[in-house]
Structure 1
């Protein structure tokens, strides 16, 4: 079994604002002394793990990432008739096993029932919490130290197995991510443009005021993005408790999501959904390497996708010439030429 799976993906996005910075404009990066559009790995991973594709494939095998589990616990206890004082106190005791609760000062927003950092709960842990809440409703006694042993090191949460989790309070229950995802960048120089728009009031007959009811401005950009993923297959299978079948399903779902699922940012405004135009998949035990260097010099060509594919494969071949084969085997599909298929790549990485 090859330890590492590497995926090199080229996707062309039309005008879009898939991943915004703190000012609401598309994220960028300076690469090769020029500005590129960028989609963060966090944005990509969230789009994949919350997609309908993952939900359909891994029902019962997906975690929940939240600060508000304490609110749900409190609600469950209250519904069983536990007093407000006990429900709040016991909820804080339970969530304290996963992270540091916020100030114990009660607020209208129940902030005292939140943990300070996002916690990724596995289905097994959520089930253990639900069982404990039901038991407390029956006994009406405070949870014991044994009751509060809710963390699970072994679980079958595919998203946690892929992308990891960190619990600052209890590092023994951390999960090392088996999938590394780079920030996607355009293979060419790109500018952020501004869309100046106005909206008209439907009930304004124009007799007294012909002006717009709303005026706004929205940043956007377009381009061909290069995305690199590295999967440690051994780590993924270990994270999934040695389940080889679930590991294969996870790998197939990952390549499908990475090639078909777009981040949700401003989709209603731009409908910028896109499928990957080219994917190169590699397997082997060799030290992984990105092929981002292929685009250090920005592409200037009317056939941007075709040129990007050529530069990517040339860089792969040059690495092999200098270092020796950087993978044992590889396969690709190319939408431009109508060769290969997603199914073929998925079977290749899962085999």
Structure 2
């Protein structure tokens, strides 16, 4: 199940908050590796490291790193401070964090009886790559004071929020007021046990005006109707509704994906919103031009049985996307290679902005 290797760090390639990218020499040659200093300490050139090379051997596009499991000759100091919330539980790298909702947290009183998002818009998407374009559409369309936006990360993809360079840059540019990691995911500005307390923390701890919910980088899919991690998008619609939030569902739309099941409106969106989501939400349908736009509207039409379909103009959104502070990419495709995907995500951000006025 795990491919173990021992190697030596030869150089640090780059780093961002919570993560360090390395070159490591193995018996087979040099490979690219990733370490999370909060978990294993900060490896330095010359250090011996133990690696999990499973994802590297599989050639995974998102997670194709050798992962540093330990720096055995220079272990980090024992952690100190409060926190008894264990994430990545019962794995060799289980970590203890301070949950916003646990008794030792300074936010416990605010969250103990919290039960409402006060009508806060909650934008929900399948893939992590939707986060930047949603923000582009939201900020380009918002009027009045700039809204505070929190990212609420579910555990369907990467578990450490540190893996996301986009998240780190969006946080640094103040495009996000904070990151909330929920379930088994960890490493956010705020930790929460469930998606429900994560949404409440976004509102009552971070003071967000809008929350965006997606899984972390990476996506598990099997080519079956139910076997993909994005089904959690439907559960997020339910969570937002039960907490008196206003759910805005972003459609996963593509004109660049070669796989038939993802062309036009992806089966991921149709299953998550059409079958899993039991509560009503707004579904942002981008007003894309031509025959492709007509196809998207036709594919989305059955969702009207449960949801409110909102036709969202896309004029001006390309300009907003081109001003993104982070690189736009989904499944290896950039903005121009899958424009409809990014416009669809930005349209959900635009619709959320309309709920703030």
Normalised to the residue count of structure 1, the TM-score between the two structures is 0.26
- Which structure is higher in RCO with an 8 Å CA cutoff and minimum separation 6? 1
Larger radius of gyration: 1
Q: Of Structure 1 and Structure 2, which has the larger fraction of its residues in helix?
A: 1
Normalised to the residue count of structure 2, the TM-score between the two structures is 0.26
